[in-house]
Chains A and B, each alone.
Chain A
Amino acid sequence: MSKHIELLVGTRKGAFILDSDEARREWHVRGPYCETWPVHDLVRDPADGTLYAGGGSAWYGPSVWRSDDDGATWTQSSEGLTYGDDGPKIETIWNLTPAHGVLYAGVEPAGLFRSDDGGRTWSHVAGLREHPSRPEWQPGNGGLCLHSIAPHPTDPDRMWVGISAVGAFETTDGGKTWELRNKGIRADFMPEPLPEFGFCVHKLRVVTAHPETLYQQNHCGVYRSDDGGRQWTEITGDLPSDFGFPMVIHPHDPKTIYVIPLNGADKGRHMTDGRAAVWRSRDRGDSWQQLITGLPQEHAYLGVLREAMSIDSFDRPGVYFGTSTGQVFGSADEGDHWQLLADFLPAVWSVEAAVVED
């Protein structure tokens, strides 16, 4: 059976889809979708092919969009997506993650919601905001957002989440209770002694084949955990910066990971020295290789946000990232060679690669 690929791109002004075949050389852009609403995340449920987009309009509030026909038509709903009339108002959706027949949504201000009917109605996973640390949660530069949802691949009761400027949490009981998972992480912006929270995770991923192994790109370095997040080991090594947002894991080789270092939290948050580069480790972060072939190496002050890098599931996976200045770059050979796939899009907030069987 033949396959094609869709790059699902969420932007500040709508959702777009980039289509290609398995060769991944020629790309066609379609969109904008979702009435040009700001879209923080656009995903495809591999179980049934439904597309979901999450975001929030400055006028009409947060909502989750759904398309059953590969983007041709969309509906939206936020029924139940609320902390109640006495709670804080939800500003936007930061992350959508389908898993185990459930669609999860991470929102701002930080919280987790679930939908058991394909995004039509939502219920609050209240246990997370009942954590004793919650009154002390403070927003980071991007807001108090729950942006990373990493479900255990086989145990539906187990999940990790990441909240900016708060840290990582794990539940083992389906979201009723949560424990902090931040030991070993630096927080250079906090005074000593460090509390158990206040850690600025930027992207948290779990290795599907070995779910005790997690990786995260943090505000202060890159880290790996081999015990489900109980203890983290810094693997920043010789990366040019400890600061960046996205992180992806090779789907067939969990020793291989990718990050995009940016020049620093207080230095503009763009590619170091105006030279675009993705960095790859083939050995779980023990060493890093700079990947620049085909990427602009002069005056390229690109920013890449936490949801804006993805890797596809072909035998030789393609790697993709989108920029805050509207470019989408891609590599069909695991990052060895890159090309510009789309330009002049609105600011890209998310990129998700979906391989679809024809």
Chain B
Amino acid sequence: MAIVNLPRSLVTLFPAPPPRHLELPAATLEQLIAELERQWPGMRDRLCEPGPQIRQHINVFVDGVRERELSRALTETSVVHIIPAVSGG
């Protein structure tokens, strides 16, 4: 299991929105996003772009460290934060 924190601007895109904080079974970031996609279809497209890779302006932190690789391993106690980049006007 990994503990996942989702941003408000992401969860509001779905008719039955996921909670902002949840636990999901996943051994890698890729599996984590696959599980999000399974439960909330369409979420993968919001987080990943062709490659596949994490979208340029989506930041994913694992235990406080920014990660870009979907293959990043997760542990039972991993805490994942998905945070849109602070930008715009």
> CB within 8 Å of A: which residues of B?
9-10, 12-13, 15, 41-42, 45-47, 49-52, 55, 57-58, 84-85, 87-88
**Residue pair A63, B50 in contact (C-beta under 8 Å):** no
**Residue pair B57, A58 in contact (C-beta under 8 Å):** yes
Tell me which of A58, A63, A77 has the highest count of chain B C-beta atoms within 10 A of its own C-beta.
A58
Stretch binding the partner chain, chosen from A78-86, A92-100, A326-334, A336-344: A78-86
Q: Which residue of A lies closest to B10 (CB)?
A: A60
A189 interfacial by beta-carbon distance below 8 Å: no
**Residue pair B45, A79 in contact (C-beta under 8 Å):** yes
Q: Nearest Cβ distance between residue A55 and chain B, in whole angstroms?
A: 13
Which residues of chain B come closer than 8 Å to A77, judged between CB atoms?
Answer: 42, 45
**Residue pair B9, A35 in contact (C-beta under 8 Å):** yes
Number of residues of chain A lying within 8 A (CB) of chain B: 21
Q: Nearest Cβ distance between residue A258 and chain B, in whole angstroms?
A: 32
User: Lowest 8 CB-CB distances: which A-B pairs, in order?
Assistant: A59-B84, A60-B46, A89-B49, A85-B50, A78-B45, A59-B57, A89-B50, A58-B57
**Residue pair A79, B46 in contact (C-beta under 8 Å):** no
**Residue pair A59, B45 in contact (C-beta under 8 Å):** no
Assuming A63-B45, A76-B13, A82-B50, what are 8 further A-B pairs, CB within 8 angstroms?
A: A35-B12, A60-B46, A63-B46, A78-B42, A79-B41, A85-B51, A85-B52, A89-B50
User: Whole-angstrom distance between the alpha carbons of A89 and B15 in the complex?
Assistant: 26
Q: Nearest Cβ distance between residue B9 and chain A, in whole angstroms?
A: 7
Q: A58-B87, A58-B88 are in contact. Are A75 and B45 (CB under 8 A)?
A: no
User: Whole-angstrom distance between the alpha carbons of A82 and B42 in the complex?
Assistant: 13
* Chief secondary structure at chain B's binding surface: loop
**Residue pair A84, B85 in contact (C-beta under 8 Å):** no
**Residue pair A61, B55 in contact (C-beta under 8 Å):** yes
Which residues of chain A come closer than 8 Å to B55, judged between CB atoms?
Answer: 59-61
User: Whole-angstrom distance between the alpha carbons of A86 and B51 in the complex?
Assistant: 6
User: Whole-angstrom distance between the alpha carbons of A42 and B61 in the complex?
Assistant: 35
Q: A59-B57, A85-B52, A89-B49 are in contact. Are A76 and B42 (CB under 8 A)?
A: yes
Q: Nearest Cβ distance between residue B66 and chain A, in whole angstroms?
A: 15
Which residues of chain A come closer than 8 Å to B10, judged between CB atoms?
Answer: 60
Q: Nearest Cβ distance between residue A129 and chain B, in whole angstroms?
A: 15
18 A-B residue pairings within 8 Å (CB atoms): A35-B13, A58-B88, A59-B84, A59-B85, A60-B9, A60-B10, A60-B46, A61-B55, A63-B46, A73-B15, A75-B15, A77-B42, A78-B45, A79-B41, A79-B42, A83-B50, A84-B50, A85-B52
A87 interfacial by beta-carbon distance below 8 Å: yes
User: Whole-angstrom distance between the alpha carbons of A61 and B10 in the complex?
Assistant: 12
Q: Which of A35, A59, A75, A83 contacts B58 (CB 8 A)?
A: A59
Which residues of chain A come closer than 8 Å to B85, judged between CB atoms?
Answer: 59
Q: A78-B42, A79-B42 are in contact. Are A61 and B15 (CB under 8 A)?
A: no
Q: Which residue of A lies closest to B48 (CB)?
A: A61
Q: Which residue of A lies closest to B57 (CB)?
A: A59
Which residues of chain B come closer than 8 Å to A63, judged between CB atoms?
Answer: 45-46
Q: Tell me the residues in window 48-79 of chain A with beta carbons closer than 8 Å to chain B beta carbons.
A: 58-61, 63, 73, 75-79
Q: Nearest Cβ distance between residue A80 and chain B, in whole angstroms?
A: 10
Which residues of chain A come closer than 8 Å to B9, judged between CB atoms?
Answer: 35, 59-60
